[in-house]
Structure 1
Amino acid sequence: MKTLTLLRHAKSGWDDAVPRDLDRPLNPKGRRAAQAMGREIKAMELDFDRVIASPAVRVRETIEELERGLGRALAPEWDRRLYLASTATLLDVMHEQDDSAETLLLVGHNPGLAELVLALVPEAPGGLRDAVEEKYPTATLAEMTFAVDGWGAVARGGATLTRFVRPRDIDATLGPDGE
């Protein structure tokens, strides 16, 4: 059994004058949401054998705030392929993982993360997948399990979506504000 958790970076600032999209930082609401998600991950007692993340500033800052809420370091591996990655690239990264890792956390961007969930989880009316299809907000966590022994065996339609936790689910003040 393998468990894949996806975390979209928290809300970033569009008002900051940065030369590259890669350099956009979090805004204050994003920082609060990332810390809240860290506390929630701790409360759910989630642990990860491996953490791989996009090197974008907003992802780095999301992880820093997540660690504050979690109360421990995650020691991510930075992989440039995760920056604005497509579903195919995310699948490649997953398939490359050592099978000794049972739990994997990927931290990155949309639309790739949402599209990966939709590719891996079969359609079923009224399930968590519907919420993903509707919107995968910033700082949201999706957890999927696979009845496989190796990451290379993970295939489209082979996942069970076990969690889809949005910041607003744990703190209403972190919900939509016209974004």
Structure 2
Amino acid sequence: MLLRHAKSDWADAGTPDAERPLSRDGRHACTLVAEHFTDVGLAPDLILCSSALRTRQTVQRIAPALPPNVPVLTEDRLYLAEPEELLSRLRDVDDGVPSVLLVGHNPGIHTLAVALLPPADRVKIPTFPTAALAVLDLGTRRWAELGPACTRFASFVTPKHLRHAS
């Protein structure tokens, strides 16, 4: 599962990028995403989260919809990470962990999501707005084998889609 952080607040231009909090719209989007997790039964076994405040707040806001005690690893290396770095981190996941939620930033998260899909499915994720969630299926592959075009498209939702669906 690849989740881009929810919309952040740009009200204070002096706030360092890594410390920008979620905006009101971002907090609302998290509620929609949390409801989606519950409605479709998504339950990650591990959460990998960028160290930015907006990603940490996104995880905090969707936490009520997640399994209790799911480990959350907040890592500096995921902050504004390039797709190669995100892929490298996912390849390091232990094979005993069936599912992972990676919470990060664009453009890395979008580029990674598209690259992991077969070419015919890449059009299913044309953009990756804030609080968008892509669910990709590894099938029987091990995490270390994760690479280009090796996953199966499961779903892709955005807050706009979720608002219209409710």
**TM-score normalised by length of structure 1:** 0.85
Identity, % of aligned positions: 34
Mapping of residues 1-179 of structure 1, within 5 Å: 5-68=1-64, 70=65, 73=68, 74-124=70-120, 127=121, 129-132=122-125, 134-172=126-164
Matched residue of 1:158: which SS? coil
Shift of 1:72: 5.6
Q: Matches of 1:163 and 1:54 in 2, distance apart?
A: 22
Gaps of 5+ in 1: 174-179
Instruction: Give 1:16 shift.
Output: 2.3
Alpha-carbon RMSD: 1.7
* Aligned partner letter, 1:137: P
Paired residues of 2:37 and 2:66 also in contact (CA < 8 A) = no
Gapped runs of 5+ residues in structure 2?
A: none
> Number of aligned pairs?
164
Please give the secondary structure, in 1, of the residue aligned with 2:81: coil
Per-residue CA shift, 1:95-126, capped at 9, x if unaligned?
101000010110010000100011110111xx
Moved over 4 A (4+): 71-74
Q: Secondary structure at the match of 2:11?
A: coil
User: Displacement of 1:130 after TM fit?
Assistant: 1.4
Q: Please tell me whether the aligned partners of residues 18 and 24 of structure 1 are also in contact (alpha carbons under 8 angstroms).
A: no
Change (3 A) 1:60 1:18: farther
